Amino acid sequence: MRAVLVCTVLLSALPFACLASAQQAAAAADSESAICTLEDGKAITARYYPVSAGKDNAPAPGKVLIPGGAAMTFFTETDLMLGKTTIPTGAYTLYILPAKKDWTLIVSKNVTVDAKYDERLDLARATMEIGQLSAPEDKLSLYFGHTGAKKCEINVDYGKTRGWTEFREK
C-alpha cells in the first residue's frame, strides 16, 4: 500500500521508479519466509521462492538449486555455527547442491540474489542428510525446526525428498 501511495504522488515525475518499485513489491509477495527464533529472541530467517518441484520430483543432482532464478536469502541476528564454520551476524545467500546420497547446504557471502552462483564466495558448506517423504511436495518448501537450546534445524522439501542440517548459536 505504501509503495502505491508513493507511486501515485511521484507518477508524473518518475514513472519508471514506480514501475521498478511495483515489480520489487510483486516479487517479494511471491516469496516465502522461514524463521527460527532462539531463546534470546534473536532470529534466523530464510527467504525463498516456492517453485514447482517438477515432473520428476527430485532436484537435478550436481546442479546448484536456484529456485525461481534467484538465490535464497539468509539473515541471522546472531553468530552461528554451521558444522565447524562460524557465520557472523549478517545477510547471506543460501544454495543447495543436491546429490544422490546427500545434499550440501551452502552459505555464500554473495548478497546479490540474481547473481550467478560463485563457489569462491562460499562462507560455509554442510552436508544435509536426506530422506524420502511419504507423499511428494508439489513445490519447494523450506522451514526451521527449533531442535534444542541454541539450535535450529533447516529443512528443505523438494518433490519426494527432504534435506536437513543444523545451525547452532555460537
**pLDDT per residue over 53-81, tens digit each?**
876 667 888 999 998 899 999 999 999 99
Nine-digit cell string for 17: 521508479
Alpha-carbon distance of 143 to 153, in angstroms, equals 8
SS3 content of the chain, % helix, strand, coil (to 5): 20, 50, 30
Percent of the chain at pLDDT above 70?
81
Cβ neighbors of 158 (< 8 A, separation 6 or more) are 53, 57, 58, 59, 65, 98, 137, 140, 141
- Cα 141 to chain centroid distance, Å, stands at 10
- Which residue in 97, 101, 107 sits closest to 73, CA to CA? 107
Per-domain residue ranges of the chain: 1-30, 32-169
Mean pLDDT lowest among 56-70, 82-96, 100-114, 124-138: 56-70
Asked if pLDDT for residue 113 goes beyond 60, the answer is yes
Tell me the whole-structure pTM to 2 decimals.
0.81
> For the CA atoms of the chain, what is the radius of gyration?
18
Alpha-carbon distance of 16 to 3, in angstroms, equals 13
